[in-house]
Amino acid sequence: MALRDSQQGEEPDLPDEQLRSNDQLQKDEMLAVEAIYGDNLNILGENSVPRYFQIYVYCEIPDGISVSAELRGVDDYPTKFSVEHLAPISLTCLMPPSYPSHHSPYFTLAVQWLDSVKISSLCDMLESLWAQQPGQEVVFEWVQWLQSSTLSHLGFDDGIVIRDSDSTMDHVDVRVVGGILSVEDVVQQLISYNEEQCQESFLQGFHVCMICFSEYKGIDFIKLPCRHYFCRNCMETYSRMHVKEGSVMKIVCPDNKCGGFVPPNLLKRLLGESDFERWERLILERTLGAMADVAYCPRCQTACLENEDNAQCPKCLFSFCTRCRDRRHIGEKCLTPEEKLLSLQEREKVRHLNKGGTGPSKLVDELSSIKEILRSCVPCPHCGTGITRVSGCNHMLCKNCGKLFCYGCGKPLTPAHTSYSLDTKSEPMLPFESEQCRIDYEKRTAKLGNNNHVFCEGCQVHHCALCRKVVRKSSEHYGPRGCKQHTVEPEVARARPKKNDDSQSESL
């Protein structure tokens, strides 16, 4: 026996009656250990004499424990984390015929996350437990002590500290099994084991889905990389709904405050082959659509790279203009939608006369619709998006490019925007590009009596009729150092002195 050979001590010659008594005590102890730790007990030889077994002992950490790693010569090593599960202590025992009357069991200890010196300390402690009560069964007590007192014995009540130790300078017990691992390897083993056990605990427990609020076992849940989890039925419905509607960019973590990424390999399990292929195609289309230099072939709708307003389809090899989507016309001016509509309408007339068509083509209908849309809207001068005003003033904000322009004249709102005024001697008005812009503004900012505080119904902003500036606070804008809040219109002011002059002349 290698386990016996590695430890000192010779078996005494015992009478048969003592041997039978020891054998019965060993059987009873094995039955007790197997009944309590059956899942963690591994008997290495059925009905073998001497008895040889291995038991895995799990340290008790009900609330988890923190782990700190220290590297020799490195002050800022950043590894500090907490774990809920520690790798078990492997206790291998061999019961000699003289146990428990004369000898303790021969044993070895192996712990992945402890160095050899600390494991040697545990071996000495187990030996002292046997010395305190010789002649008594001790295996069950060893297991209980390792389970409940290992961390406190090593000084790890407030957290486990992993550091490099020079084992050659300290006593290493021969009963220690395992090689010397680096701090990085120990940290990786602790993290990996903790994640595996947490996942196993999750799968065996019951949880509530935050979408349908139903309770299921962990194996019926989908756990996302962001640590949020939802039941499989809800995740499948959620994913397939977005794929069916084409909103594939919205397939993220359903938690409102998260929006985490859902990996493709998980989506493949949720969607199935056909829906996943559609998801891949839509994702590709959305990605290509976000690229400024990508256009689609008007014949087969294949994505093409644009090069100076021209592109060639890699599938059907059709070269076309990316502006008018017609065949490539180098050196010729690109037609506007109105011009192209007239050209197509003339072609349609000739085709009807020659062959007798049944109606206008689909492209003609589309261009006719574009023409009607352009007729009732003003294109943004920055990006060309058609804008229709429902109500309000002429100062427009394009929802496509986010830039300002004047709806009356269709030009950008810049500091160089021309100013107009009814009277050249009065204060300049707000900037207008045309007379129509000014008229529309004055209709919305007409004074009520002599009050110069004007509220624009279009843009919902307060203005001053004298200086044409925005009024933030009336108490700050009007007063001795500012504008007068109540004044008479210039026409009325000029008319009143004339009546006084007439009255004066009549009196004279």
User: Pick from 156, 172, 177, 164: which is nearest to 120 by CA?
Assistant: 172
Mean pLDDT score across all residues of the chain:
77
How confident is residue 188, by pLDDT bands cut at 50, 70 and 90? confident
Instruction: Give yes or no: residues 132 and 272 share one domain.
Output: no
Query: Which residues are CB-neighbours of 307 under 8 A, at least 6 positions away?
Result: 293
Instruction: Give yes or no: residues 268 and 365 share one domain.
Output: no
Q: Of 14-18, 174-178, 220-224, 499-503, which has the strongest mean pLDDT?
A: 220-224
Backbone dihedral angles phi then psi of residue 320, each to the nearest 5 degrees: -145, 165
Whether the CB-CB separation of 226 and 253 falls below 8 Å is answered with yes
Better-scored residue on pLDDT, 256 or 170:
256
Whether the CB-CB separation of 121 and 133 falls below 8 Å is answered with no
What is the SS3 assignment for 369?
helix
Instruction: Give yes or no: residues 29 and 167 share one domain.
Output: yes
**Does residue 86 lie within any of the structural domains?**
yes
**Does residue 434 lie within any of the structural domains?**
no
**Does residue 504 lie within any of the structural domains?**
no
Instruction: Give yes or no: residues 154 and 224 share one domain.
Output: no
**Does residue 23 lie within any of the structural domains?**
yes
- Report residue 281 CA to chain centroid gap: 22
Instruction: Give yes or no: residues 27 and 156 share one domain.
Output: yes
Distance from first CA to last CA of the chain, Å, rounded? 145
User: Quick check: 241 pLDDT over 60?
Assistant: yes
Instruction: Give yes or no: residues 115 and 220 share one domain.
Output: no
DSSP assigned state of 312 = E
What pLDDT, on the 0 to 100 scale, is given for residue 281?
87
**Does residue 65 lie within any of the structural domains?**
yes
As for how many domains the chain has, the answer is 4
Residue with tokens 């059987």: 27
What is the SS3 assignment for 266?
helix
- Report residue 340 CA to chain centroid gap: 47
Query: Which residues are CB-neighbours of 55 under 8 A, at least 6 positions away?
Result: 33, 37, 40, 41, 42, 90, 91, 93, 143
**Does residue 93 lie within any of the structural domains?**
yes
CATH number at residue 147: 3.10.110.10
Instruction: Give yes or no: residues 362 and 216 share one domain.
Output: no
- Which residues face 310 on adjacent strands? 307, 321
What is the SS3 assignment for 289?
helix
Whether the CB-CB separation of 488 and 450 falls below 8 Å is answered with yes
Instruction: Give yes or no: residues 106 and 126 share one domain.
Output: yes
How confident is residue 212, by pLDDT bands cut at 50, 70 and 90? very high
CATH number at residue 282: 3.30.40.10
Structural domain boundaries enclosing 136: 2-196
- The helix or strand, by DSSP H or E, that contains position 56, with its residue range, turns out to be strand 51-57
Question: Per residue in 387-423, pLDDT tens?
Answer: 888 766 777 888 878 788 888 788 887 655 544 433 3
Instruction: Give yes or no: residues 67 and 147 share one domain.
Output: yes
**Does residue 246 lie within any of the structural domains?**
yes
Instruction: Give yes or no: residues 111 and 247 share one domain.
Output: no
Whether the CB-CB separation of 126 and 142 falls below 8 Å is answered with yes
Q: Cα–Cα distance between 252 and 483 in angstroms, integer?
A: 56
Instruction: Give yes or no: residues 233 and 171 share one domain.
Output: no
Pairing of β 303-305 and β 51-57:
unpaired
Whether the CB-CB separation of 139 and 145 falls below 8 Å is answered with no
Question: Per residue in 64-113, pLDDT tens?
Answer: 888 888 776 555 555 788 888 888 999 999 988 888 888 889 999 998 88
Torsion angle (degrees, nearest 10) of CA 262, 265, 271, 276: 100
Q: What region, left, alpha or beta, does residue 402 occupy, with left being phi > 0 and alpha being psi -120 to 50 degrees?
A: left
- Which residues face 222 on adjacent strands? 230
Whether the CB-CB separation of 405 and 398 falls below 8 Å is answered with yes
User: Quick check: 353 pLDDT over 70?
Assistant: no
What is the value of pTM for the model shown?
0.50
Instruction: Give yes or no: residues 222 and 172 share one domain.
Output: no
3-state SS, one letter per residue, for 201-218 = HHHHCEEECCCCCCEEEH
**Does residue 88 lie within any of the structural domains?**
yes
